[in-house]
Amino acid sequence: MTRRLRIILVFFTALTVLLVGRLAWVQIVWGPEFAAKAQQQRARVYVEPARRGEVTDRHGNQLAYTMQARSLTISPQVLRSELTEQQDLAMRMDGMSREQIDAEIDERVEDVLVTMSQEIPAMIEEAGAITGEVKEEEILEKLQADSTYEVLVRNVDPDVAAEIAATFHGVAADHQDIRQYPNGAIAENVLGKVSMDGQGQFGFETSGDAMLSGINGRSTEDVSTNGQVIPGTLRDVVPAVDGAAVELSLDLDLQTYVQQLLEQAKTNSQADSAEAVVLDVATGEVLAMANTDTIDPNGNIERQLRAGKDFENQTISHPYEPGSVAKIITAAATLEEGLTTPDEVHQVPGSIHMAGVTVNDAWAHGVVPYTTTGIFGKSSNVGTLMLAERLGEDRFADYLQRFGIGQTTGIELPNESSGLLPAREQWSGGTFANLPIGQGMSFTTLQMASIYQALANGGERIEPRIVRSVTNPDGTEQELAEPDRTQVVSPDTARATIDMFRSIMQDDPGGLQMGTGANGAVPGYQTSGKTGTAQKVDPNTGAYSNSDYWITFAGVAPADDPRFVVAVMVDEPTRGVEEGGGGGQSSAPIFRDIASWLLDRDNIPTSPPMEDLLILHAQ
């Protein structure tokens, strides 16, 4: 073998060893990493969105549900690049020169974009596949955008979206769930809404998001370089778990009536706002929870927000001083402690001095022989404080705690306020001169309704609830925690208190035995309740205003066999809540109308007539 041949042989042997070593290195050392990268490039993870659970009222009427739809999306930059390539190829096949192509290609691409902007809205409109107008100029602007992703149109019918995606190059029909609120603004303060990505934003959609949203499914599949699915590669399949269906305790018909009534009352009285809560006495369930200026989620949100509408549920989030409607706590406590009886006669002066504070009645008078029933039927501040002094601060504080004042109710909704109650150790003499007559503390309309529910329910306060049942996707029903119950006063005391507060609705042509809420009486039924007029604090002086008020009312219907509690608040009315501004400065007519509607709708038997007038003013 010649020297040259040996050199060549050594060289090729070394080269072979080098190549084999390199190959071994790639396969053994780098192989797993390259295999993983290849797998990653081939693999596609698909997400199967879970269907959000529907929300219904107590009778199965839909309040919120999810409808499948599609969003038409594009990548404008990629689309224009691909259209340019397509037009370039077509023009070359037509035999056009490079100079001609360069001169005309941009115009041809623009013509395609204009055609798309005209035909996509036309196809959607012809099919009636979306609510609202799809504007050509907005579509064209997105097609011309300098971006990698644009949503052309949301909420398109799946079949129409698929047809559009098949017709126009570069348009994709992405899965989208649309949350529907078929009743518009009705109960929207309770329901809230979801965001564009399906997350709860307000109301029960937020607090109930975990049970409503479900769990998305996932699967993995390999695709080739041209995007074709490789058969037999489907793996890691996790099915979607849809959200639970929730039945609320709301009554849609009642909620609709109450919201309409409140809007009318606000207009009639020229008030800033109005709100009401209706509870089932025996269960504490919320049958209606309404306030004015509730937004319609199906309308133009921005325009409605500018007009003063919102998603707030003021019945639980906006506490206020209740005024005389809270005197029922003092009444029940003194009866429970055996410190008075409904018929006891008190010599009530026109004012009372407590710890350096002078409190007057709302009308000037000398010493008047009011019964205990009359103190509350006439809404005497002085008489109420006389009874409160018998009770004492410590026992009164205990009853406030039993009735839930200064505490959240635990309702299954977000942003509930606990209201305001000064800590017992912070009380002064002036504090005790205010609290028994409904000043110096604040609570929400729901809390106010809860106080009256306790007394109407034999003295047992049941924490109000709005979720009636939760049903899993497989049809099984979730076990819900029982609401807390508190025996605030004895059944006998509760019955005596409710009977005593029938005096508020009492009418007397002579005026002597007339209560402050006679215009809240329901013909044919015994009803019980209390009016309230709470002065607001003037922000300029820090003192109570003589012109701005919260007007409250809470009552029970029927009083002889309690079924419903209705609590109402009207904020700063300038006249009455009835048509034309009639009805006086009182929320009682709203109670009357709601109670009448309920009693009539549910065919509640009329009450036995009262034998005699309750004695308010002793002779």
The verdict on 265 and 400 lying in the same domain is yes
The verdict on 440 and 406 lying in the same domain is yes
Report the alpha-carbon distance of residue 354 to residue 339 in Å, rounded. Answer: 19
Render pLDDT for 46-93 as a digit per residue (tens, 0 to 9). Answer: 667 788 999 999 999 999 999 888 888 888 888 888 898 888 888 888
Q: How confident is the model at residue 41 (pLDDT cuts 50, 70, 90)?
A: low
The verdict on 161 and 309 lying in the same domain is no
The set of residues, in sequence order, having a beta carbon less than 8 Å from that of 269 and lying 6+ positions away, is: 570, 573, 574, 575, 576, 577, 581
In 96-158, at which residue ranges do the beta strands (DSSP E only) sit? 150-156
Which residue, of 196, 213, 245, is where some domain finishes? 245
Mean pLDDT of 382-404: 97
**Residues 55-67 as b or e (16 or more Cβ within 10 Å = b):** bbbbeeeebbbbe
The verdict on 204 and 343 lying in the same domain is no
Report the alpha-carbon distance of residue 576 to residue 585 in Å, rounded. Answer: 5
pTM above 0.85, yes or no: no
The verdict on 126 and 223 lying in the same domain is no
Render pLDDT for 463-501 as a digit per residue (tens, 0 to 9). Answer: 999 999 999 999 999 999 999 999 999 999 999 999 999
Phi and psi torsions of 225, nearest 5°: -65, -25
The verdict on 493 and 530 lying in the same domain is yes
Q: For residue 4, is it within any domain?
A: no
The verdict on 443 and 531 lying in the same domain is yes
pLDDT at position 546: 77
The verdict on 328 and 265 lying in the same domain is yes
Which residue, of 245, 264, 294, is where some domain finishes? 245
Is 207 annotated in the active site? no
Provide the CATH number for the domain around residue 202: 3.90.1310.10
Render pLDDT for 224-251 as a digit per residue (tens, 0 to 9). Answer: 655 566 787 777 788 888 899 999 999 9
- Let me know: does 534 contact 404? Beta carbons within 8 Å: no
Which residue, of 210, 228, 245, is where some domain finishes? 245
The verdict on 358 and 486 lying in the same domain is yes
Report the alpha-carbon distance of residue 244 to residue 264 in Å, rounded. Answer: 36
Q: For residue 615, is it within any domain?
A: no
The set of residues, in sequence order, having a beta carbon less than 8 Å from that of 47 and lying 6+ positions away, is: 216, 217, 218
- HSE-CB for 369 with a 13 A CA cutoff: 6
Q: How many domains does the chain have?
A: 3
CA distances to 205, 208, 248, 468, 561 from 200, in Å: 5, 8, 17, 20, 40
Render pLDDT for 337-365 as a digit per residue (tens, 0 to 9). Answer: 999 999 999 999 999 998 788 999 999 99
The verdict on 415 and 515 lying in the same domain is yes
In 355-510, at which residue ranges do the beta strands (DSSP E only) sit? 357-360, 368-371, 460-462, 467-471, 485-487
Q: For residue 37, is it within any domain?
A: no
Render pLDDT for 268-308 as a digit per residue (tens, 0 to 9). Answer: 999 999 999 999 999 999 999 999 999 999 888 899 999 99
- HSE-CB for 104 with a 13 A CA cutoff: 13
Q: For residue 13, is it within any domain?
A: no
Q: Furthest-apart CA pair in the chain: how many Å?
A: 146
Q: For residue 188, is it within any domain?
A: yes
pLDDT at position 450: 98
Provide the CATH number for the domain around residue 277: 3.40.710.10
pLDDT surpasses 90 at 433: yes
- Domain of 158 in residue numbering reads as 76-169
The verdict on 433 and 549 lying in the same domain is yes
The verdict on 128 and 188 lying in the same domain is no
Phi-psi region of 540 (alpha: psi -120 to 50; beta: other; left: phi over 0): alpha
Q: For residue 119, is it within any domain?
A: yes
- Let me know: does 70 contact 178? Beta carbons within 8 Å: no
Q: Token pair of 7, please? A: 């050199």
Q: For residue 316, is it within any domain?
A: yes
**Where is pLDDT greater, at 34 or 486?**
486
Report the alpha-carbon distance of residue 229 to residue 241 in Å, rounded. Answer: 25
The set of residues, in sequence order, having a beta carbon less than 8 Å from that of 520 and lying 6+ positions away, is: 504, 505, 527, 529, 531, 553, 555, 586, 588, 589, 591, 592
pLDDT surpasses 90 at 25: no
pLDDT at position 456: 98
Q: For residue 302, is it within any domain?
A: yes
CA distances to 111, 320, 351, 361, 402 from 440, in Å: 71, 10, 19, 17, 18
Q: Of 71, 117, 249, 324, which residue is the catalytic one?
A: 324
